[in-house]
């Protein structure tokens, strides 16, 4: 019988709950602890999902006997520091996107994972969504060659709230969080390296102190282009849409759904064991731990994305 893997989830906001729900679908995974800065919320969520331990202190949870791995769904500025703490404590770690909000910290996580010989994986969910897996299989089979990836990431966030409408203690970022999804997906699907990059940003929000609109252009060594529009000012519809323009077809992907350019739905139900991208992401984390291998979205494999983000940030006015 396969030894169970004991997991802790830190941060139980919108995405933390998604991971908790996904872990419940995976055989041989035990939820050992729930961590959240609000201890009452940690207690309530631990009771809901059957975790025997809860805490407001990640270090306390890292000391629990039998803990194997941690999934970090905490505020972006904490990701790298907490990932390093997990790795130094001998625990495998999955860091929700982004890996870090600075390139030097992202590199430090990659190096520490190598030193420790542990799985360090980042939550680049687009690598797992069945819609994007379908396109990747066509690319790998030589049936589709990407010419232009056009992405729109639109939210309405004129106040500091999360996807559940709850107040945040930190400020989200269009470049280091939301653009990371598309930049990594473009690199992953295209297989080239970025040779040209440009970025423009709109005015900063008076209270949030961040740009609310961005436009990004990338060119790959393969000749393919990526055009990305991002906004926190958009008053619906919300979310991200990817248009794959290729030499043989056009595909429009929205999370786990996929359509042709003629608006015909593509059946992606047989692509993987689930159509839930977060669940597939968590299944890969567990499989990589069990098999002692690098995960599909390992920290090392997504590092080129953060190198591009760093290059783009350097183009912005100080």
What whole-number distance in Å separates Cα of residue 35 and Cα of residue 305? 29
pLDDT tens, 194-236? 999 999 999 988 888 888 999 999 999 999 999 999 999 998 8
pLDDT over threshold 60, residue 307: yes
pLDDT of residue 169: 61
Whether residue 152 sits in one domain with residue 111: no
pLDDT tens, 264-275? 999 999 999 999
Whether residue 262 sits in one domain with residue 154: yes
pLDDT tens, 125-163? 999 999 999 999 999 999 999 999 999 999 887 665 655
Which of the listed residues 229, 252, 271 is the one where a domain comes to its end?
271
Q: Total structural domains in the chain? A: 2
Residue 316, domain member (yes or no): no
Q: Which domain holds residue 48?
A: 5-124+277-298
What beta strand segments (E) does the chain contain?
5-10, 29-35, 53-55, 69-72, 92-96, 120-123, 146-154, 194-201, 213-220, 225-231, 239-246, 250-254, 257-260
- Say which CATH number the domain at 99 has: 3.40.50.720
Residue 311, domain member (yes or no): no
Residue 267, domain member (yes or no): yes
pLDDT tens, 173-200? 899 999 999 999 999 999 999 999 999 9
Whether residue 77 sits in one domain with residue 145: no
Whether residue 266 sits in one domain with residue 213: yes
pLDDT over threshold 60, residue 21: yes
Whether residue 282 sits in one domain with residue 158: no
Q: Report percent pLDDT > 90 for the chain.
A: 86
- Say which CATH number the domain at 169 has: 3.30.360.10
Whether residue 254 sits in one domain with residue 239: yes
Whether residue 120 sits in one domain with residue 134: no
Whether residue 283 sits in one domain with residue 213: no
Whether residue 256 sits in one domain with residue 139: yes
Whether residue 259 sits in one domain with residue 289: no
Q: Average of pLDDT values for 246-271? A: 96
Residue 313, domain member (yes or no): no
Whether residue 255 sits in one domain with residue 226: yes
pLDDT of residue 255: 87
pLDDT of residue 256: 87
pLDDT over threshold 80, residue 167: no
Q: What is the pTM of this model?
A: 0.94
Residue 135, domain member (yes or no): yes
pLDDT of residue 152: 97
Q: Average of pLDDT values for 301-309? A: 98
Residue 101, domain member (yes or no): yes
Whether residue 249 sits in one domain with residue 146: yes
Closest CA to 288 of 273, 274, 298: 298
């Amino acid at each position: 019988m396969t030894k169970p893997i004991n997991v802790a989830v830190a941060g139980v906001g919108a995405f933390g709950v998604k991971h908790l729900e996904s872990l419940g679908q995976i055989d041989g995974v035990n939820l050992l602890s729930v961590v959240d800065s609000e201890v009452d919320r940690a207690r309530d969520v631990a009771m809901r999902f059957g975790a025997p331990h809860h805490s407001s202190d990640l270090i306390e949870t890292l000391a629990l006997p039998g803990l194997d791995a941690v999934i970090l769904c905490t505020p972006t500025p904490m990701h790298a520091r907490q990932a390093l703490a997990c790795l130094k404590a001998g625990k495998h770690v999955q860091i929700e996107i982004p890996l870090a909000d600075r390139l030097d910290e992202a590199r430090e996580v990659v190096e520490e994972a190598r030193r420790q010989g542990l799985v360090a994986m980042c939550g680049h969910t687009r690598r797992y969504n069945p819609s994007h897996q379908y396109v990747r299989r066509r690319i790998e089979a030589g049936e589709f060659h990407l010419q232009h990836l056009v992405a729109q990431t639109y939210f309405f966030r004129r106040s500091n709230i999360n996807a559940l409408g709850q107040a945040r203690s930190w400020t989200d970022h269009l470049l280091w969080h939301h653009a990371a999804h598309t930049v990594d997906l473009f690199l992953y699907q295209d297989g080239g390296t970025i040779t040209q990059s440009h970025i423009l940003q709109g005015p900063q929000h008076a209270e949030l102190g961040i740009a609310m609109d961005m436009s990004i252009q990338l060119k790959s060594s393969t000749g393919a282009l990526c055009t990305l529009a991002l906004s926190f000012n958009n008053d619906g519809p919300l979310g991200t849409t990817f248009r794959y323009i290729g030499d043989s077809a056009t595909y429009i992907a929205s999370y786990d759904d996929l359509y042709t350019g003629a608006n015909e739905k593509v059946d992606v139900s047989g692509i993987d064991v689930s159509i839930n991208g977060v669940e597939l992401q968590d299944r890969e984390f567990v499989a990589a731990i069990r098999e002692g291998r690098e995960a599909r979205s390992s920290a090392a494999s997504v590092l080129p994305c953060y190198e591009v983000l760093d290059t783009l940030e350097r183009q912005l006015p100080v």
